[in-house]
Chain A
């Protein structure tokens, strides 16, 4: 049931809203079907980012891909948490690490989701920055990939989203934007900071190619 609702919501409603009204240009993401498991890593400027990536996915795999989101923002009340988990299919994590209670630890929760067979959408900048400005990446992506080195990451670059709907403003003003995917890539090192640097290079390369 949830799958049908999400497919209707994202692959039909939101996708067409983003395309026709906001002006988002989608790159075909059909190649993701062939990947068993992946982590989409993208730059982050807008709430539209998550919706755009979900709307770009082949509808077949939509339930298998969980956007990683901040508990304090999307799950600060029980009701909001339920809504996020159902309609955005989120994996809610807290921002700070928790070594004592492993079930609360963000890294552990992401790894567990991978072990359960899910793919993830991750914004390694941690939070939305000013429109069209990229912030340094947080190391979380490095920790997760160093623990599960066989999982490929897929770099993605979102352009213009922060202009259509920036942080601190809930009014959507149409603005031509685009979502571009890079190729699924395996990490070259198991060193956390080197993984982070590799991921950052991949995202920047996409940006520079535009």
Chain B
């Protein structure tokens, strides 16, 4: 009983400060759009307001599920992988004969998160890149439908890598061993990663809207501009510098890691854009009002999570 009521979060001033900052930004954005909407009734703020409302829900869900209970954190991030995997594979036109292999790919999700939970790094890091990589083609071969099998083999594993292996690095942050003199632990790292990734998305969007002129990769994503990209890089790196206390890294390392989050977040974003362009859809789903599907929101995370994790793992652990 004592364990349940004991919430270490409220004793950690650093985490509490950043969480208050997140909700402070949301309150500010909500008030801003409300006031601008009153002053300039003609301004089209509907999409911004919908997006902000969705941010409220996402931020609350994220903080509620990852910052309190240890087991719930793994479960919640696992659910995120599950929903993202389901959303992405559903639009990729798999054959009916792929269903058994897809089923095993789903089974891999709880296994991967269990390995993260028990902190068995060696198994966790090879399970999807090696075990599932070798096993899924076998399951497809046993079914015997060879017309189009190469596509199924490659696409299925790619989806698994992106939505399960990549995102599960968020969960493994929580399994990293304690470092002496670093009290924020995995929660601090997770908060740093997610906050910077999402603020980078927002900043690239904002700078692009304010100053955007020169298209950066018009064939893939016509709305992305050099101004948005560079503005996001600078802002995110600066914010990362000030939030360095969440990590066990030195100042130089924090700046490097923040820069890499901003850079790889952009890559994840345009990779998913190119996939959507190939299929001919605008969004991968419609589960988050104003944002599209889950994947439209976490496409950058699927790139930033593994890169951030391995940088930190190399430099501090």
Chain A residues with CB under 8 Å of B100's CB are 171
Q: How far is the CA of A163 from the CA of B100 in the complex (A)?
A: 12
Kindly supply a per-residue 1/0 record for chain B positions 83-102, scoring 1 wherever the CB is within 8 Å of any chain A CB and 0 otherwise. 10011011100101001101
A25 B90 Cβ-Cβ under 8 A: no
- Cβ-based interface call for A173 (8 A): yes
Q: How far is the CA of A177 from the CA of B86 in the complex (A)?
A: 10
B87 A169 Cβ-Cβ under 8 A: no
- Cβ-based interface call for B285 (8 A): yes
Interface residues on A, range: 10 to 19
The DSSP consensus for interface residues of chain A is: loop
Min distance, Cβ A95 to any Cβ of chain B, angstroms: 25
Of the candidates A131, A160, A171, A176, the one whose C-beta lies within 8 Å of that of B103 is A171
Q: Which residue of A lies closest to B94 (CB)?
A: A163
Q: How far is the CA of A25 from the CA of B83 in the complex (A)?
A: 13
Chain B residues with CB under 8 Å of A163's CB are 90, 94, 96
Min distance, Cβ B86 to any Cβ of chain A, angstroms: 5
| In the complex, chain A residues 2-43 whose Cβ is within 8 Å of any chain B Cβ | 23, 25
- Cβ-based interface call for A174 (8 A): yes
> A23-B86, A160-B90 known; A173 and B285 CB under 8 Å?
no
Q: How far is the CA of A175 from the CA of B100 in the complex (A)?
A: 13
Q: How far is the CA of A117 from the CA of B315 in the complex (A)?
A: 72
- Cβ-based interface call for B106 (8 A): yes
- Cβ-based interface call for B274 (8 A): no
Q: How far is the CA of A23 from the CA of B103 in the complex (A)?
A: 14
A173 B286 Cβ-Cβ under 8 A: no
Chain B residues with CB under 8 Å of A169's CB are 99
Chain B residues with CB under 8 Å of A130's CB are 96
A173 B90 Cβ-Cβ under 8 A: no
Q: How far is the CA of A42 from the CA of B201 in the complex (A)?
A: 41
* Chain B residues at the A interface, C-beta cutoff of 8 Å: 82-83, 86-87, 89-91, 94, 96, 99-100, 102-103, 106, 285-287
* Chain A residues at the B interface, C-beta cutoff of 8 Å: 23, 25, 130-131, 160, 163, 166, 169, 171, 173-177
